[in-house]
A = this chain, B = another copy of it.
């Protein structure tokens, strides 16, 4: 078990009920013997669903399933298990998902294609679906509106703390709630890092609008974080809108009545994404990289991620070393449009390099003090355009190597 992240919150936040959502957890013994490892979320009739799924070319069977049923845009349940990712498990893996969905559907009286399924854990081992199916009746009995922290714990693998967040918003004057739970990205070999995140709201939003909100929101949040550059085979974020709130249904994501909701939705996604980084393997520093002046927003994000994924930048930060040369090199290798002689790099708000060379005589004391802190801010101005993006990462430490190498399966 890895050490508790220094960024773990003091306690799990108070998540209010979301009308139309009931949760239950159980210990099915899929892999872990002494903890709850299955989550069932029951969703009210009329719930719309949206999702963003890993772009991996070797996705897990549950990802294939979610991608398939997302077309319907309807959800009545979500089943998540931890301990076995059901990835690279061939036809048997796909059957395990179907079996789980079918059993859940029979129990709740809905169609199997309204049951979303996720798995996280070991790759390449057959998922014993029968163990999950066996606990479903008990789960159904225990469904409650308040089991958020238990839900966040049940989907965790080697996370060092359970992760949840909440927001409220008004739509057309009607208050709605948004809750999110997420897991990632601690891991122990031979387990696989996977990010699974779920957003629940009682807002009444059409599936296309919900999908657009999620896709756009993910681009600026989940797609802007990195721990170690390794994309998972199972990354999944699903959003469910139960429609229990009393406002009129909103079908267009550009509807001005969605303005507050969208702001809260994006804010929730960002908090969820940052919680994942804050539990990044071996983290000792939380790093924010703000890129401005790039050719486009996409270019800014790619540059930011290239810097965030550079082992040399990450180790320099771990070493509290103001090594901006490594940042320059990472910008250079990104392949994005950039001009060395227009580049400005600031650490902790202090410009250290500008216009193609070091800022001579800058005050090193505040930079050194900043680097000794836990939250590191790097600002990179490319100086050629108006594209900007912010990405978040953690440093690369001995603890990361210990977690991922000092273990024999």
Residues of A344-370 at the interface with B, using a CB-CB cut-off of 8 Å, are 353, 355-358
The answer to whether B56 and A325 touch across the interface, beta carbons within 8 angstroms, is no
Docked CA distance A316–B123 (Å)? 14
**Interface 9-mer from A8-16, A27-35, A140-148, A307-315:** A307-315
Q: Of B54, B229, B329, B405, which one neighbours A56 at CB under 8 angstroms?
A: B329
* B residues in contact with A333, CB < 8 Å: 55-57, 230-231
- Min Cβ gap A58→B in Å is 3
Docked CA distance A55–B329 (Å)? 11
The answer to whether B124 and A328 touch across the interface, beta carbons within 8 angstroms, is yes
Main secondary structure of the interface of A (DSSP, over half): loop
* B residues in contact with A332, CB < 8 Å: 54, 56-59, 231, 233
* B residues in contact with A192, CB < 8 Å: 325-326, 329
**Interface 9-mer from A71-79, A98-106, A335-343:** A335-343
Indicate if A266 sits at the interface (CB-CB under 8 A).
Answer: no
* B residues in contact with A58, CB < 8 Å: 328-329, 331-332, 338, 340, 343
Residues of A193-238 at the interface with B, using a CB-CB cut-off of 8 Å, are 193, 228-233
Indicate if A408 sits at the interface (CB-CB under 8 A).
Answer: yes
Q: Of B92, B322, B357, which one neighbours A90 at CB under 8 angstroms?
A: B357
Indicate if A318 sits at the interface (CB-CB under 8 A).
Answer: yes
Q: Of B320, B328, B396, B404, which one neighbours A319 at CB under 8 angstroms?
A: B404
Indicate if A255 sits at the interface (CB-CB under 8 A).
Answer: no
Indicate if A189 sits at the interface (CB-CB under 8 A).
Answer: yes
Indicate if A87 sits at the interface (CB-CB under 8 A).
Answer: yes
The answer to whether B336 and A57 touch across the interface, beta carbons within 8 angstroms, is yes
* B residues in contact with A323, CB < 8 Å: 189-190, 409
The answer to whether B230 and A311 touch across the interface, beta carbons within 8 angstroms, is yes
Indicate if A89 sits at the interface (CB-CB under 8 A).
Answer: yes
Residues of A282-298 at the interface with B, using a CB-CB cut-off of 8 Å, are none
* B residues in contact with A328, CB < 8 Å: 58, 87-88, 123-124, 233
The answer to whether B338 and A57 touch across the interface, beta carbons within 8 angstroms, is yes
Q: Of B337, B340, B400, B404, which one neighbours A88 at CB under 8 angstroms?
A: B340
Residues of A228-287 at the interface with B, using a CB-CB cut-off of 8 Å, are 228-233
Q: Of B93, B329, B358, B404, which one neighbours A312 at CB under 8 angstroms?
A: B404
* B residues in contact with A335, CB < 8 Å: 55, 57
Indicate if A397 sits at the interface (CB-CB under 8 A).
Answer: yes
Quick one: closest B residue to A339, CB to CB? B57
* B residues in contact with A397, CB < 8 Å: 401, 405
Indicate if A375 sits at the interface (CB-CB under 8 A).
Answer: no
Residues of A28-83 at the interface with B, using a CB-CB cut-off of 8 Å, are 54-59
Indicate if A122 sits at the interface (CB-CB under 8 A).
Answer: yes
* B residues in contact with A231, CB < 8 Å: 329, 332-333
Docked CA distance A316–B189 (Å)? 7
- Min Cβ gap A20→B in Å is 35
Docked CA distance A336–B323 (Å)? 34
* B residues in contact with A319, CB < 8 Å: 189, 404-408
Closest 4 CB pairs of A and B: A123-B325, A58-B332, A56-B332, A231-B333
Residues in A lying within 8 Å of B, measured CB to CB:
54-59, 87-93, 122-125, 187, 189-190, 192-193, 228-233, 309-312, 315-316, 318-326, 328-341, 343, 353, 355-358, 395-398, 400-402, 404-409
